[in-house]
Structures are given as C-alpha cells and as structure tokens.
C-alpha cells in the first residue's frame, strides 16, 4: 500500500496553522519532549516495551502518536487503523510525519523492512519453544485440541492432555497456535521445521 495515501496525508503547514490555542499548547508540550532532526521530532522521554513513545496526560497513559493525531490535530483514526509515521522512525512524533494506516498495511511495511520475522522465522521460533519444553501443548497437542477432542469440554480436554482449561480454550479460539496467513498452518510448518 502507498503510505502517502493514509489518513494523515493532509497534515502540513496549512493544517497546523488552523490549530486552536489549546491544541498549540499541547503540540508545544509534545515538541518540548523531542529532539528535532530534520522534519522529525524524536521523542526523548518514556517509551513502551516495543520502543514507541508514551506519556501521561491527566493521569492517563497515552501513546504519543495517537494522542497527537486525535487530540492535538483533531483527526479521527478509524477502528483497525494505527497511528504511524511516513519516516518509519519509532520515536518520531512530528505532525508532518504522522499518518494513520490500516493495521494490515503497517504489518506489511514491517515484514518488508525485516522488522518482523517471516513465517519461516515464526515456525523456527515455535519449533524451538516446543523442543525446549517451554509449552506443554505443542503442535500435536494443538492439533488434537482442534480436531480429535474438539467435542470434549475445555476441562476434560485439558485433563486428557495435561494442560489447563485456559490453554485448551486459547488454542481453540486461535489465540495460540494460530495460522499466520490463509492456506497455511503452523502444523504444516511444524512438520517441515521440527523433524
């Protein structure tokens, strides 16, 4: 997807000139916590565990990019869309770099940039987890939960496999041992990577 066709395409000098006094104050508050590098404002304060800017506003923890787009610039981010940047710098909060994109487009950019493991990398990681005994369910157990003992309750299936009811229920709902893309499953990858 063309990242310039996102929601934030219109953010520019003209849009910034129309900000109210309260919006300008909030914008300057964010800017004061950043270091300017070209068009980017690189956040110098607290970040979350993934390295994205966060801060407290009125006692509530907020992600800076979403705050900038919705509360400072007055834009609405549709459900399923994420506030991101055209420059792709994790710490950038500049209103001229901000753009909202559908989650799928953001994920696609991450795979293209090598920031996320490919399906092969995911398969290898799951194979290592199973081999190390970190998970009790494993590939075959997840397959069994979804197919062989699907008629059993979560508690009964858990007792049979030696795992908790919540482990069984998460596997059945697809929260764990889920497929990554249509037409392929972790079971197929497991057979090829864990032999």
User: What residue spans of 68-153 are helical by DSSP H?
Assistant: 103-113, 119-132, 138-146
Please tell me the distance from the alpha carbon of residue 78 to that of residue 109, in angstroms, as a whole number: 19
| Higher pLDDT pick, 170 / 17 | 170
Q: How confident is the model at residue 40 (pLDDT cuts 50, 70, 90)?
A: very high
Q: Are residues 70 and 8 in the same domain?
A: yes
Q: State the chain's mean pLDDT as an integer.
A: 77
- What tens digit of pLDDT does each residue of 139-185 get? 677 777 777 777 888 888 888 888 888 888 888 877 776 543 334 44
Domain range enclosing 105: 3-113
Nearest-5° angle of CA 30, CA 32, CA 38? 90
pLDDT tens track for 92-140 = 999 989 999 988 888 788 777 776 666 556 666 666 766 666 667 776 7
Same domain, yes or no, for 10 and 72? yes
Domain boundary among 113, 137, 169: 113
Q: Is 10 exposed, middle or buried (0-12, 13-18, 19+ CB in 10 A)?
A: exposed
pLDDT over 60 at 11, yes or no: no
Cβ proximity of 124 and 193 under 8 Å: yes
CA distances from 18 to 13, 76, 148 (A): 9, 16, 62
Q: Are residues 106 and 90 in the same domain?
A: yes
The tens digit of pLDDT for each residue in 58-93 reads 899 999 999 999 999 888 899 889 999 999 899 999
Do 136 and 82 fall within a single domain? no
On whether both 20 and 107 belong to a single domain, the answer is: yes
Q: What is the pTM of this model?
A: 0.56
More confident residue, 182 or 12: 12
């Amino acid at each position: 997807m063309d990242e310039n066709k996102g929601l934030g395409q219109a953010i520019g000098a003209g849009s910034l000139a129309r900000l109210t006094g309260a919006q300008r104050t909030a914008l300057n508050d964010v800017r004061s916590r950043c270091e300017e590098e070209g068009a980017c404002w690189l956040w110098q304060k607290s970040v979350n565990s993934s390295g994205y800017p966060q801060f407290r506003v009125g006692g509530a923890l907020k992600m800076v990019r979403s705050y900038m787009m919705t509360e400072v610039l007055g834009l609405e981010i549709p459900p399923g869309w994420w506030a991101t940047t055209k420059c792709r710098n994790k710490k950038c909060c500049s209103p001229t770099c901000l753009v909202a994109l559908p989650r799928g487009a953001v994920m696609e950019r991450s795979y293209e940039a090598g920031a996320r493991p490919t399906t092969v990398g995911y398969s290898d990681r799951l194979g290592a987890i199973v081999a190390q005994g970190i998970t009790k369910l494993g590939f075959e157990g997840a397959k069994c939960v979804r197919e062989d003992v699907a008629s059993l309750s979560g508690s009964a299936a858990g007792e049979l496999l030696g795992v908790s009811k919540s482990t069984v229920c998460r596997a059945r709902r697809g929260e764990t041992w889920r497929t990554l893309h249509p037409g392929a499953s972790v079971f197929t990858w497991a057979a090829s990577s864990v032999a």
